[in-house]
Structure 1
Protein backbone atom coordinates (compact mmCIF):
# COMPACT_ATOMS: atom_id res chain seq x y z
CA UNK A 1 0.00 0.00 0.00
CA UNK A 2 2.76 2.41 0.99
CA UNK A 3 4.64 1.49 -2.17
CA UNK A 4 1.57 2.31 -4.25
CA UNK A 5 1.19 5.68 -2.51
CA UNK A 6 4.85 6.52 -3.17
CA UNK A 7 4.46 5.68 -6.85
CA UNK A 8 1.32 7.82 -6.98
CA UNK A 9 3.07 10.76 -5.36
CA UNK A 10 5.99 10.47 -7.77
CA UNK A 11 3.61 10.39 -10.74
CA UNK A 12 1.69 13.36 -9.37
CA UNK A 13 4.91 15.30 -8.90
CA UNK A 14 6.06 14.48 -12.42
CA UNK A 15 2.69 15.53 -13.81
CA UNK A 16 2.85 18.83 -11.90
CA UNK A 17 6.33 19.59 -13.24
CA UNK A 18 5.24 18.71 -16.78
CA UNK A 19 2.22 21.00 -16.48
CA UNK A 20 4.41 23.83 -15.14
CA UNK A 21 6.83 23.54 -18.07
CA UNK A 22 3.88 23.33 -20.45
CA UNK A 23 2.33 26.52 -19.08
CA UNK A 24 5.72 28.25 -19.15
CA UNK A 25 6.15 27.27 -22.80
CA UNK A 26 2.66 28.55 -23.65
CA UNK A 27 3.33 31.88 -21.91
CA UNK A 28 6.57 32.30 -23.85
CA UNK A 29 4.81 31.59 -27.12
CA UNK A 30 2.08 34.09 -26.24
CA UNK A 31 4.66 36.79 -25.48
CA UNK A 32 6.54 36.11 -28.71
CA UNK A 33 3.28 36.15 -30.68
CA UNK A 34 2.22 39.41 -29.02
CA UNK A 35 5.56 41.05 -29.89
CA UNK A 36 5.27 39.86 -33.50
CA UNK A 37 1.72 41.20 -33.77
CA UNK A 38 2.77 44.62 -32.43
CA UNK A 39 5.65 44.77 -34.90
CA UNK A 40 3.36 43.80 -37.79
CA UNK A 41 0.81 46.44 -36.73
CA UNK A 42 3.51 49.14 -36.70
CA UNK A 43 4.74 48.10 -40.15
CA UNK A 44 1.17 47.95 -41.46
CA UNK A 45 0.44 51.49 -40.21
CA UNK A 46 3.69 52.81 -41.68
CA UNK A 47 2.91 51.13 -45.01
CA UNK A 48 -0.62 52.56 -45.04
CA UNK A 49 0.62 56.11 -44.41
CA UNK A 50 3.29 55.88 -47.12
CA UNK A 51 0.78 54.42 -49.58
CA UNK A 52 -1.70 57.23 -48.91
CA UNK A 53 1.01 59.85 -49.41
CA UNK A 54 2.18 58.21 -52.66
CA UNK A 55 -1.38 57.97 -54.02
CA UNK A 56 -1.97 61.64 -53.12
CA UNK A 57 1.13 62.74 -55.05
CA UNK A 58 0.24 60.57 -58.04
CA UNK A 59 -3.27 62.05 -58.13
CA UNK A 60 -1.77 65.55 -57.98
CA UNK A 61 0.58 64.87 -60.91
CA UNK A 62 -2.26 63.38 -62.96
CA UNK A 63 -4.33 66.51 -62.30
CA UNK A 64 -1.43 68.74 -63.34
CA UNK A 65 -0.92 66.79 -66.57
CA UNK A 66 -4.64 67.05 -67.37
CA UNK A 67 -4.47 70.82 -66.88
CA UNK A 68 -1.40 71.03 -69.15
CA UNK A 69 -3.31 69.22 -71.91
CA UNK A 70 -6.29 71.57 -71.48
CA UNK A 71 -4.12 74.70 -71.72
CA UNK A 72 -2.23 73.29 -74.71
CA UNK A 73 -5.55 72.77 -76.50
CA UNK A 74 -6.46 76.42 -75.96
CA UNK A 75 -3.17 77.58 -77.48
CA UNK A 76 -3.39 75.15 -80.40
CA UNK A 77 -6.86 76.49 -81.18
CA UNK A 78 -5.51 80.04 -81.54
CA UNK A 79 -2.15 79.47 -83.19
CA UNK A 80 -3.45 79.69 -86.78
CA UNK A 81 -5.21 83.00 -86.18
CA UNK A 82 -3.65 86.45 -86.53
CA UNK A 83 -2.74 87.85 -83.13
CA UNK A 84 -5.09 90.67 -82.13
CA UNK A 85 -4.83 93.15 -79.23
CA UNK A 86 -3.89 91.48 -75.96
CA UNK A 87 -4.05 87.98 -77.47
CA UNK A 88 -0.24 87.73 -77.29
CA UNK A 89 -0.31 88.45 -73.56
CA UNK A 90 -3.03 85.87 -72.97
CA UNK A 91 -1.18 83.23 -74.98
CA UNK A 92 2.06 83.95 -73.15
CA UNK A 93 0.18 83.68 -69.86
CA UNK A 94 -1.08 80.23 -70.86
CA UNK A 95 2.43 79.14 -71.82
CA UNK A 96 3.79 80.44 -68.51
CA UNK A 97 1.10 78.51 -66.63
CA UNK A 98 2.05 75.35 -68.54
CA UNK A 99 5.73 75.85 -67.72
CA UNK A 100 4.85 76.23 -64.04
CA UNK A 101 2.74 73.06 -64.13
CA UNK A 102 5.62 71.18 -65.75
CA UNK A 103 8.00 72.31 -63.00
CA UNK A 104 5.56 71.29 -60.24
CA UNK A 105 4.83 67.94 -61.90
CA UNK A 106 8.53 67.22 -62.25
CA UNK A 107 9.09 68.14 -58.61
CA UNK A 108 6.34 65.74 -57.51
CA UNK A 109 7.75 62.91 -59.64
CA UNK A 110 11.19 63.47 -58.10
CA UNK A 111 9.56 63.30 -54.66
CA UNK A 112 7.79 60.03 -55.58
CA UNK A 113 11.05 58.44 -56.73
CA UNK A 114 12.81 59.65 -53.57
CA UNK A 115 10.15 58.00 -51.41
CA UNK A 116 10.55 54.68 -53.21
CA UNK A 117 14.34 54.79 -52.78
CA UNK A 118 14.32 55.88 -49.13
CA UNK A 119 11.55 53.57 -47.88
CA UNK A 120 12.28 50.00 -46.76
CA UNK A 121 8.74 49.06 -47.83
CA UNK A 122 8.11 47.30 -51.12
CA UNK A 123 6.72 50.10 -53.28
CA UNK A 124 7.48 48.60 -56.69
CA UNK A 125 3.75 48.55 -57.42
CA UNK A 126 3.97 52.34 -57.85
CA UNK A 127 7.08 52.37 -60.06
CA UNK A 128 5.28 51.48 -63.30
CA UNK A 129 2.74 54.27 -62.75
CA UNK A 130 5.48 56.78 -61.90
CA UNK A 131 7.41 55.82 -65.06
CA UNK A 132 4.22 56.36 -67.09
CA UNK A 133 3.75 59.80 -65.51
CA UNK A 134 7.37 60.69 -66.30
CA UNK A 135 6.92 59.58 -69.92
CA UNK A 136 3.70 61.58 -70.20
CA UNK A 137 5.38 64.67 -68.76
CA UNK A 138 8.31 64.30 -71.17
CA UNK A 139 5.84 64.10 -74.06
CA UNK A 140 4.07 67.25 -72.85
CA UNK A 141 7.42 69.09 -72.67
CA UNK A 142 8.17 68.04 -76.25
CA UNK A 143 4.75 69.24 -77.39
CA UNK A 144 4.99 72.64 -75.70
CA UNK A 145 8.55 73.14 -77.01
CA UNK A 146 7.35 72.53 -80.57
CA UNK A 147 4.42 74.86 -80.01
CA UNK A 148 6.72 77.61 -78.75
CA UNK A 149 8.94 77.27 -81.83
CA UNK A 150 5.91 77.55 -84.10
CA UNK A 151 4.65 80.68 -82.34
CA UNK A 152 8.09 82.29 -82.30
CA UNK A 153 8.38 81.84 -86.06
CA UNK A 154 5.01 83.54 -86.49
CA UNK A 155 5.53 86.71 -84.47
CA UNK A 156 8.74 88.60 -83.59
CA UNK A 157 7.23 90.41 -80.59
CA UNK A 158 6.04 87.13 -79.19
CA UNK A 159 9.50 85.69 -79.86
CA UNK A 160 11.04 88.40 -77.64
CA UNK A 161 8.62 87.61 -74.82
CA UNK A 162 9.29 83.90 -75.30
CA UNK A 163 13.03 84.43 -74.92
CA UNK A 164 12.44 86.20 -71.62
CA UNK A 165 10.26 83.32 -70.46
CA UNK A 166 12.87 80.76 -71.55
CA UNK A 167 15.55 82.59 -69.55
CA UNK A 168 13.31 82.40 -66.52
CA UNK A 169 12.70 78.70 -67.17
CA UNK A 170 16.44 78.05 -67.32
CA UNK A 171 16.77 79.61 -63.88
CA UNK A 172 13.91 77.41 -62.68
CA UNK A 173 15.57 74.31 -64.20
CA UNK A 174 18.80 75.12 -62.36
CA UNK A 175 16.83 75.61 -59.16
CA UNK A 176 15.14 72.22 -59.66
CA UNK A 177 18.51 70.56 -60.29
CA UNK A 178 19.90 72.08 -57.09
CA UNK A 179 16.74 71.05 -55.24
CA UNK A 180 17.08 67.49 -56.53
CA UNK A 181 20.68 67.35 -55.31
CA UNK A 182 19.70 68.68 -51.89
CA UNK A 183 16.91 66.12 -51.66
CA UNK A 184 19.36 63.35 -52.51
CA UNK A 185 21.71 64.58 -49.78
CA UNK A 186 18.81 64.75 -47.29
CA UNK A 187 17.74 61.21 -48.24
CA UNK A 188 21.28 59.93 -47.72
CA UNK A 189 21.62 61.75 -44.40
CA UNK A 190 18.23 60.42 -43.26
CA UNK A 191 19.23 56.86 -44.15
CA UNK A 192 22.54 57.30 -42.32
CA UNK A 193 20.79 58.81 -39.29
CA UNK A 194 18.26 55.97 -39.24
CA UNK A 195 21.12 53.46 -39.23
CA UNK A 196 22.85 55.30 -36.38
CA UNK A 197 19.63 55.25 -34.35
CA UNK A 198 19.01 51.56 -34.89
CA UNK A 199 18.93 49.52 -31.68
CA UNK A 200 18.47 45.85 -30.82
CA UNK A 201 16.15 44.53 -28.12
CA UNK A 202 15.94 41.10 -26.51
CA UNK A 203 13.55 40.24 -23.66
CA UNK A 204 13.17 36.92 -21.91
CA UNK A 205 13.93 34.86 -18.85
CA UNK A 206 17.61 34.30 -18.18
CA UNK A 207 17.27 30.71 -19.36
CA UNK A 208 15.64 31.86 -22.62
CA UNK A 209 18.39 34.39 -23.25
CA UNK A 210 21.04 31.84 -22.43
CA UNK A 211 19.49 29.27 -24.76
CA UNK A 212 19.45 31.79 -27.60
CA UNK A 213 23.10 32.65 -26.98
CA UNK A 214 22.43 36.22 -25.94
CA UNK A 215 24.01 35.81 -22.47
CA UNK A 216 26.82 33.59 -21.27
CA UNK A 217 26.58 31.12 -18.42
CA UNK A 218 27.65 33.79 -15.92
CA UNK A 219 25.03 36.22 -17.09
CA UNK A 220 27.30 38.52 -19.06
CA UNK A 221 26.01 40.14 -22.23
CA UNK A 222 27.47 38.83 -25.47
CA UNK A 223 27.95 41.99 -27.53
CA UNK A 224 27.88 41.67 -31.31
CA UNK A 225 30.17 42.98 -34.00
CA UNK A 226 33.41 43.02 -32.06
CA UNK A 227 32.21 43.56 -28.50
CA UNK A 228 32.57 39.96 -27.37
CA UNK A 229 32.78 39.14 -23.66
CA UNK A 230 31.46 35.65 -24.17
CA UNK A 231 32.23 32.10 -23.22
CA UNK A 232 30.20 31.06 -26.25
CA UNK A 233 29.77 32.38 -29.81
CA UNK A 234 28.11 35.71 -30.54
CA UNK A 235 24.33 35.72 -30.58
CA UNK A 236 22.59 35.79 -33.94
CA UNK A 237 21.19 39.20 -34.85
CA UNK A 238 17.88 37.44 -35.56
CA UNK A 239 17.49 36.82 -31.82
CA UNK A 240 16.99 40.58 -31.36
CA UNK A 241 14.10 42.84 -32.33
CA UNK A 242 15.27 45.84 -34.36
CA UNK A 243 14.05 49.13 -32.85
CA UNK A 244 14.44 52.87 -33.42
CA UNK A 245 16.16 54.25 -30.33
CA UNK A 246 14.45 57.62 -30.82
CA UNK A 247 10.99 56.06 -30.49
CA UNK A 248 11.58 53.78 -27.50
CA UNK A 249 11.07 55.53 -24.17
CA UNK A 250 8.85 53.13 -22.23
CA UNK A 251 8.85 49.34 -22.53
CA UNK A 252 6.13 47.43 -20.64
CA UNK A 253 7.20 43.88 -19.81
CA UNK A 254 5.00 41.05 -18.56
CA UNK A 255 7.05 40.16 -15.48
CA UNK A 256 7.05 40.31 -11.71
CA UNK A 257 10.63 41.57 -11.80
CA UNK A 258 13.19 42.50 -14.42
CA UNK A 259 16.83 43.51 -14.73
CA UNK A 260 19.04 44.91 -17.49
CA UNK A 261 21.86 42.62 -18.56
CA UNK A 262 23.23 45.00 -21.18
CA UNK A 263 25.27 47.90 -19.82
CA UNK A 264 23.52 51.25 -19.34
CA UNK A 265 24.16 54.08 -16.82
CA UNK A 266 21.94 53.53 -13.78
CA UNK A 267 20.75 57.15 -13.77
CA UNK A 268 19.56 56.96 -17.39
CA UNK A 269 16.59 54.69 -16.70
CA UNK A 270 14.24 53.45 -14.03
CA UNK A 271 12.05 50.40 -13.52
CA UNK A 272 8.47 51.25 -12.58
CA UNK A 273 5.41 49.24 -11.55
CA UNK A 274 3.12 48.36 -14.44
CA UNK A 275 -0.65 48.24 -14.79
CA UNK A 276 -0.80 45.22 -12.47
CA UNK A 277 1.39 42.99 -10.31
CA UNK A 278 2.52 40.94 -13.30
CA UNK A 279 3.87 43.91 -15.27
CA UNK A 280 6.94 46.12 -14.98
CA UNK A 281 7.85 49.14 -17.10
CA UNK A 282 11.34 50.15 -18.19
CA UNK A 283 11.39 53.94 -18.60
CA UNK A 284 14.37 55.54 -20.34
CA UNK A 285 14.76 58.99 -18.77
CA UNK A 286 17.98 60.01 -20.54
CA UNK A 287 18.08 58.38 -24.01
CA UNK A 288 21.43 59.88 -24.99
CA UNK A 289 23.18 58.51 -21.92
CA UNK A 290 21.21 55.25 -21.98
CA UNK A 291 22.38 54.29 -25.50
CA UNK A 292 25.86 55.77 -25.22
CA UNK A 293 27.59 52.55 -24.16
CA UNK A 294 25.68 50.00 -26.22
CA UNK A 295 23.01 49.86 -28.91
CA UNK A 296 21.83 46.52 -27.52
CA UNK A 297 19.17 46.34 -24.81
CA UNK A 298 18.86 42.95 -23.11
CA UNK A 299 16.18 42.56 -20.43
CA UNK A 300 16.06 39.52 -18.17
CA UNK A 301 12.67 38.99 -16.56
CA UNK A 302 11.02 36.83 -13.94
CA UNK A 303 7.45 35.78 -14.68
Structure 2
Protein backbone atom coordinates (compact mmCIF):
# COMPACT_ATOMS: atom_id res chain seq x y z
CA UNK A 1 0.00 0.00 0.00
CA UNK A 2 1.22 3.43 -0.82
CA UNK A 3 2.69 5.21 2.21
CA UNK A 4 0.83 8.40 1.31
CA UNK A 5 -2.50 6.63 1.35
CA UNK A 6 -1.77 5.10 4.75
CA UNK A 7 -0.80 8.53 6.05
CA UNK A 8 -3.97 10.08 4.69
CA UNK A 9 -6.11 7.39 6.33
CA UNK A 10 -4.36 7.98 9.65
CA UNK A 11 -4.83 11.72 9.53
CA UNK A 12 -8.50 11.32 8.64
CA UNK A 13 -9.08 9.01 11.59
CA UNK A 14 -7.36 11.43 13.95
CA UNK A 15 -9.49 14.30 12.58
CA UNK A 16 -12.72 12.37 13.14
CA UNK A 17 -11.70 11.53 16.69
CA UNK A 18 -10.92 15.18 17.39
CA UNK A 19 -14.22 16.38 15.94
CA UNK A 20 -16.14 13.76 17.93
CA UNK A 21 -14.50 14.85 21.16
CA UNK A 22 -15.26 18.56 20.53
CA UNK A 23 -18.89 17.81 19.72
CA UNK A 24 -19.41 15.94 22.98
CA UNK A 25 -17.81 18.75 25.00
CA UNK A 26 -19.97 21.33 23.20
CA UNK A 27 -23.13 19.35 23.88
CA UNK A 28 -22.26 19.16 27.56
CA UNK A 29 -21.64 22.92 27.64
CA UNK A 30 -24.98 23.63 25.94
CA UNK A 31 -26.79 21.35 28.40
CA UNK A 32 -25.14 23.14 31.30
CA UNK A 33 -26.14 26.55 29.93
CA UNK A 34 -29.70 25.35 29.39
CA UNK A 35 -29.87 24.18 33.01
CA UNK A 36 -28.57 27.55 34.25
CA UNK A 37 -31.14 29.29 32.08
CA UNK A 38 -33.98 27.24 33.61
CA UNK A 39 -32.70 27.90 37.11
CA UNK A 40 -32.54 31.64 36.41
CA UNK A 41 -36.06 31.56 34.96
CA UNK A 42 -37.39 29.76 38.07
CA UNK A 43 -35.55 32.17 40.32
CA UNK A 44 -36.93 35.18 38.44
CA UNK A 45 -40.44 33.72 38.66
CA UNK A 46 -40.06 33.10 42.41
CA UNK A 47 -38.73 36.62 42.94
CA UNK A 48 -41.61 38.11 40.94
CA UNK A 49 -44.13 36.10 42.96
CA UNK A 50 -42.45 37.20 46.21
CA UNK A 51 -42.56 40.88 45.19
CA UNK A 52 -46.23 40.57 44.19
CA UNK A 53 -47.11 39.01 47.56
CA UNK A 54 -45.23 41.67 49.51
CA UNK A 55 -46.68 44.55 47.48
CA UNK A 56 -50.19 43.08 47.83
CA UNK A 57 -49.82 42.86 51.59
CA UNK A 58 -48.45 46.41 51.71
CA UNK A 59 -51.45 47.66 49.71
CA UNK A 60 -53.85 45.92 52.13
CA UNK A 61 -52.12 47.51 55.10
CA UNK A 62 -52.17 50.91 53.42
CA UNK A 63 -55.89 50.51 52.65
CA UNK A 64 -56.54 49.79 56.33
CA UNK A 65 -54.54 52.86 57.31
CA UNK A 66 -56.59 54.98 54.90
CA UNK A 67 -59.77 53.65 56.54
CA UNK A 68 -58.33 54.55 59.95
CA UNK A 69 -57.62 58.12 58.77
CA UNK A 70 -61.23 58.45 57.61
CA UNK A 71 -62.54 57.17 60.97
CA UNK A 72 -60.23 59.57 62.83
CA UNK A 73 -61.56 62.47 60.76
CA UNK A 74 -65.15 61.44 61.55
CA UNK A 75 -64.35 61.23 65.27
CA UNK A 76 -62.70 64.65 65.23
CA UNK A 77 -65.69 66.30 63.54
CA UNK A 78 -68.24 64.49 65.72
CA UNK A 79 -66.59 65.48 69.00
CA UNK A 80 -66.28 69.17 68.07
CA UNK A 81 -68.67 71.37 70.08
CA UNK A 82 -70.42 68.40 71.67
CA UNK A 83 -71.03 70.39 74.86
CA UNK A 84 -73.39 72.65 72.87
CA UNK A 85 -75.66 69.79 71.85
CA UNK A 86 -78.48 68.02 73.62
CA UNK A 87 -77.86 65.16 76.03
CA UNK A 88 -79.43 62.46 73.83
CA UNK A 89 -77.46 63.68 70.80
CA UNK A 90 -74.24 63.84 72.82
CA UNK A 91 -74.79 60.29 74.10
CA UNK A 92 -75.42 59.04 70.55
CA UNK A 93 -72.24 60.75 69.34
CA UNK A 94 -70.26 59.22 72.19
CA UNK A 95 -71.52 55.72 71.31
CA UNK A 96 -70.58 56.26 67.65
CA UNK A 97 -67.10 57.46 68.60
CA UNK A 98 -66.54 54.45 70.88
CA UNK A 99 -67.63 52.14 68.06
CA UNK A 100 -65.25 53.88 65.61
CA UNK A 101 -62.35 53.61 68.06
CA UNK A 102 -63.07 49.90 68.52
CA UNK A 103 -62.99 49.44 64.74
CA UNK A 104 -59.72 51.38 64.51
CA UNK A 105 -58.22 49.15 67.20
CA UNK A 106 -59.20 46.09 65.17
CA UNK A 107 -57.64 47.53 62.01
CA UNK A 108 -54.42 48.31 63.88
CA UNK A 109 -54.15 44.81 65.33
CA UNK A 110 -54.77 43.33 61.91
CA UNK A 111 -52.10 45.59 60.40
CA UNK A 112 -49.58 44.67 63.11
CA UNK A 113 -50.06 40.97 62.32
CA UNK A 114 -49.65 41.61 58.58
CA UNK A 115 -46.46 43.62 59.10
CA UNK A 116 -45.01 40.96 61.43
CA UNK A 117 -45.79 38.26 58.85
CA UNK A 118 -44.18 40.36 56.12
CA UNK A 119 -41.02 40.90 58.13
CA UNK A 120 -40.64 37.15 58.77
CA UNK A 121 -41.16 36.41 55.08
CA UNK A 122 -38.56 38.99 54.10
CA UNK A 123 -36.06 37.62 56.61
CA UNK A 124 -36.50 34.11 55.23
CA UNK A 125 -36.13 35.20 51.61
CA UNK A 126 -32.55 34.73 50.39
CA UNK A 127 -32.44 38.01 48.48
CA UNK A 128 -32.74 41.51 49.89
CA UNK A 129 -35.18 44.00 48.32
CA UNK A 130 -34.26 47.23 50.06
CA UNK A 131 -37.13 49.28 48.60
CA UNK A 132 -39.72 46.81 49.95
CA UNK A 133 -37.99 46.62 53.30
CA UNK A 134 -38.12 50.42 53.54
CA UNK A 135 -41.83 50.44 52.71
CA UNK A 136 -42.57 47.88 55.43
CA UNK A 137 -40.47 49.85 57.92
CA UNK A 138 -42.46 53.02 57.12
CA UNK A 139 -45.72 51.13 57.59
CA UNK A 140 -44.58 49.85 60.96
CA UNK A 141 -43.72 53.42 62.03
CA UNK A 142 -47.12 54.63 60.83
CA UNK A 143 -48.91 51.91 62.81
CA UNK A 144 -46.95 52.82 65.94
CA UNK A 145 -47.94 56.46 65.45
CA UNK A 146 -51.59 55.47 65.01
CA UNK A 147 -51.49 53.48 68.24
CA UNK A 148 -50.35 56.62 70.04
CA UNK A 149 -53.15 58.62 68.40
CA UNK A 150 -55.74 56.02 69.47
CA UNK A 151 -54.43 56.17 73.03
CA UNK A 152 -54.91 59.95 72.89
CA UNK A 153 -58.44 59.50 71.50
CA UNK A 154 -59.30 57.20 74.40
CA UNK A 155 -58.18 59.94 76.78
CA UNK A 156 -60.38 62.35 74.85
CA UNK A 157 -63.32 59.99 75.36
CA UNK A 158 -62.77 60.22 79.10
CA UNK A 159 -62.86 63.99 78.72
CA UNK A 160 -65.96 63.61 76.55
CA UNK A 161 -67.68 61.68 79.34
CA UNK A 162 -67.02 64.61 81.66
CA UNK A 163 -68.37 67.05 79.07
CA UNK A 164 -71.54 64.99 78.58
CA UNK A 165 -72.04 64.72 82.35
CA UNK A 166 -71.58 68.50 82.67
CA UNK A 167 -73.97 69.00 79.76
CA UNK A 168 -76.57 66.81 81.46
CA UNK A 169 -76.22 68.83 84.67
CA UNK A 170 -76.52 72.13 82.78
CA UNK A 171 -79.58 70.95 80.86
CA UNK A 172 -81.26 69.68 84.02
CA UNK A 173 -80.62 73.02 85.69
CA UNK A 174 -82.07 74.84 82.68
CA UNK A 175 -85.05 72.49 82.62
CA UNK A 176 -85.67 73.14 86.31
CA UNK A 177 -85.48 76.90 85.75
CA UNK A 178 -87.82 76.65 82.76
CA UNK A 179 -90.23 74.47 84.70
CA UNK A 180 -90.14 76.89 87.61
CA UNK A 181 -90.78 79.83 85.28
CA UNK A 182 -93.63 77.99 83.61
CA UNK A 183 -95.13 77.17 86.98
CA UNK A 184 -94.80 80.78 88.05
CA UNK A 185 -96.40 81.97 84.82
CA UNK A 186 -99.15 79.40 85.26
CA UNK A 187 -99.82 80.32 88.91
CA UNK A 188 -103.14 82.10 89.52
CA UNK A 189 -105.08 82.92 92.68
CA UNK A 190 -108.68 83.18 93.72
CA UNK A 191 -110.58 84.07 96.89
CA UNK A 192 -114.27 83.77 97.74
CA UNK A 193 -116.02 85.57 100.61
CA UNK A 194 -118.67 88.01 101.70
CA UNK A 195 -118.00 91.73 102.21
CA UNK A 196 -116.88 91.42 105.83
CA UNK A 197 -114.57 88.47 105.15
CA UNK A 198 -112.89 90.10 102.19
CA UNK A 199 -112.66 93.46 103.94
CA UNK A 200 -111.01 91.87 106.96
CA UNK A 201 -108.42 90.22 104.70
CA UNK A 202 -107.68 93.52 102.97
CA UNK A 203 -108.89 92.30 99.61
CA UNK A 204 -111.64 94.84 98.95
CA UNK A 205 -112.37 98.48 99.63
CA UNK A 206 -115.22 100.92 99.06
CA UNK A 207 -114.77 103.81 96.70
CA UNK A 208 -116.81 106.93 95.94
CA UNK A 209 -120.24 107.88 97.34
CA UNK A 210 -121.12 109.68 100.56
CA UNK A 211 -121.44 107.87 103.86
CA UNK A 212 -123.17 104.61 102.87
CA UNK A 213 -124.74 105.98 99.67
CA UNK A 214 -123.29 105.47 96.16
CA UNK A 215 -120.27 103.55 97.32
CA UNK A 216 -118.71 100.92 95.05
CA UNK A 217 -116.90 97.84 96.34
CA UNK A 218 -113.74 97.04 94.37
CA UNK A 219 -110.70 94.80 94.79
CA UNK A 220 -107.72 96.56 96.34
CA UNK A 221 -104.57 97.02 94.29
CA UNK A 222 -102.27 95.62 96.95
CA UNK A 223 -103.36 92.53 98.83
CA UNK A 224 -101.77 89.57 100.58
CA UNK A 225 -101.66 86.56 98.26
CA UNK A 226 -101.32 84.19 101.19
CA UNK A 227 -105.02 84.84 101.84
CA UNK A 228 -105.84 83.44 98.39
CA UNK A 229 -106.03 79.89 97.07
CA UNK A 230 -103.25 79.21 94.57
CA UNK A 231 -104.11 77.04 91.55
CA UNK A 232 -102.76 76.23 88.10
CA UNK A 233 -104.39 78.18 85.30
CA UNK A 234 -104.08 75.24 82.89
CA UNK A 235 -105.39 72.68 85.37
CA UNK A 236 -108.31 74.72 86.70
CA UNK A 237 -111.39 74.66 84.50
CA UNK A 238 -114.02 75.33 87.18
CA UNK A 239 -114.33 76.85 90.66
CA UNK A 240 -117.05 75.68 93.00
CA UNK A 241 -118.98 78.44 94.79
CA UNK A 242 -121.17 77.42 97.72
CA UNK A 243 -123.59 80.28 97.24
CA UNK A 244 -126.61 80.97 95.02
CA UNK A 245 -125.91 82.26 91.53
CA UNK A 246 -127.82 85.52 92.13
CA UNK A 247 -125.47 86.51 94.95
CA UNK A 248 -122.16 85.89 93.11
CA UNK A 249 -120.19 88.88 91.80
CA UNK A 250 -116.71 89.03 90.24
CA UNK A 251 -114.75 92.09 91.43
CA UNK A 252 -111.72 91.50 89.22
CA UNK A 253 -111.58 92.09 85.48
CA UNK A 254 -111.95 89.01 83.24
CA UNK A 255 -113.07 88.65 79.65
CA UNK A 256 -116.80 87.92 79.68
CA UNK A 257 -116.48 85.48 76.77
CA UNK A 258 -113.91 83.39 78.63
CA UNK A 259 -116.15 82.19 81.48
CA UNK A 260 -119.67 81.40 82.55
CA UNK A 261 -121.27 81.18 86.03
CA UNK A 262 -123.89 78.46 86.27
CA UNK A 263 -126.36 77.38 88.86
CA UNK A 264 -125.29 74.22 90.65
CA UNK A 265 -128.24 73.07 92.74
CA UNK A 266 -130.48 75.22 94.97
CA UNK A 267 -127.83 77.09 96.98
CA UNK A 268 -124.64 76.69 94.96
CA UNK A 269 -123.09 77.74 91.68
CA UNK A 270 -119.99 77.04 89.65
CA UNK A 271 -117.63 79.29 87.70
CA UNK A 272 -116.88 77.53 84.39
CA UNK A 273 -113.65 78.76 82.72
CA UNK A 274 -113.99 78.22 78.97
CA UNK A 275 -110.72 79.86 77.87
CA UNK A 276 -108.07 79.82 80.61
CA UNK A 277 -105.54 81.93 78.70
CA UNK A 278 -108.08 84.65 77.98
CA UNK A 279 -109.69 84.45 81.42
CA UNK A 280 -106.46 85.12 83.34
CA UNK A 281 -105.04 87.51 80.78
CA UNK A 282 -106.17 90.74 82.49
CA UNK A 283 -105.82 89.58 86.10
CA UNK A 284 -103.92 86.74 87.75
CA UNK A 285 -106.08 87.09 90.86
CA UNK A 286 -109.80 86.35 90.98
CA UNK A 287 -111.94 87.98 93.69
CA UNK A 288 -115.49 86.62 94.09
CA UNK A 289 -117.79 88.64 96.34
CA UNK A 290 -120.79 86.94 97.89
CA UNK A 291 -123.47 89.61 98.32
Structure 1 pair 107/149, CA: closer, same or farther in 2 (3 Å)? Answer: same
1-structure distance, mates of 2:65, 2:6:
88
TM-score by length of 1: 0.50
2-structure distance, mates of 1:148, 1:129:
29
Q: Which residue of 1 aligns with 2:43?
A: 43
2-structure distance, mates of 1:151, 1:85:
12
Unaligned runs of 5+ in 1: 160-303
Q: 1:132 aligns with which of 131, 138, 153?
A: 138
1:45 Cα deviation after fit:
1.7
Structure 1 pair 155/85, CA: closer, same or farther in 2 (3 Å)? Answer: closer
2-structure distance, mates of 1:158, 1:30:
82
Q: How does 1:1-303 map to 2 (within 5 A)?
A: 2-82=2-82, 84-156=90-162
Is the Cα–Cα contact under 8 Å of residues 79 and 151 in structure 1 kept in the other structure? Answer: no
Is the Cα–Cα contact under 8 Å of residues 109 and 130 in structure 1 kept in the other structure? Answer: yes
1-structure distance, mates of 2:107, 2:56:
17
Aligned residues: 159
Structure 1 pair 45/70, CA: closer, same or farther in 2 (3 Å)? Answer: same
1:127 Cα deviation after fit:
0.6
1:85 Cα deviation after fit:
4.0
Q: Which structure: larger Rg?
A: 2
Is the Cα–Cα contact under 8 Å of residues 64 and 111 in structure 2 kept in the other structure? Answer: yes
**What is the SS of the residue equivalent to 2:90?**
coil
Q: Which residue of 2 aligns with 1:167?
A: none
Unaligned runs of 5+ in 2: 83-88, 166-291
1:123 Cα deviation after fit:
2.9
TM-score by length of 2: 0.51
Decide which moves more: 21-30 or 150-159.
150-159
2-structure distance, mates of 1:158, 1:18:
99
**What is the SS of the residue equivalent to 1:120?**
coil
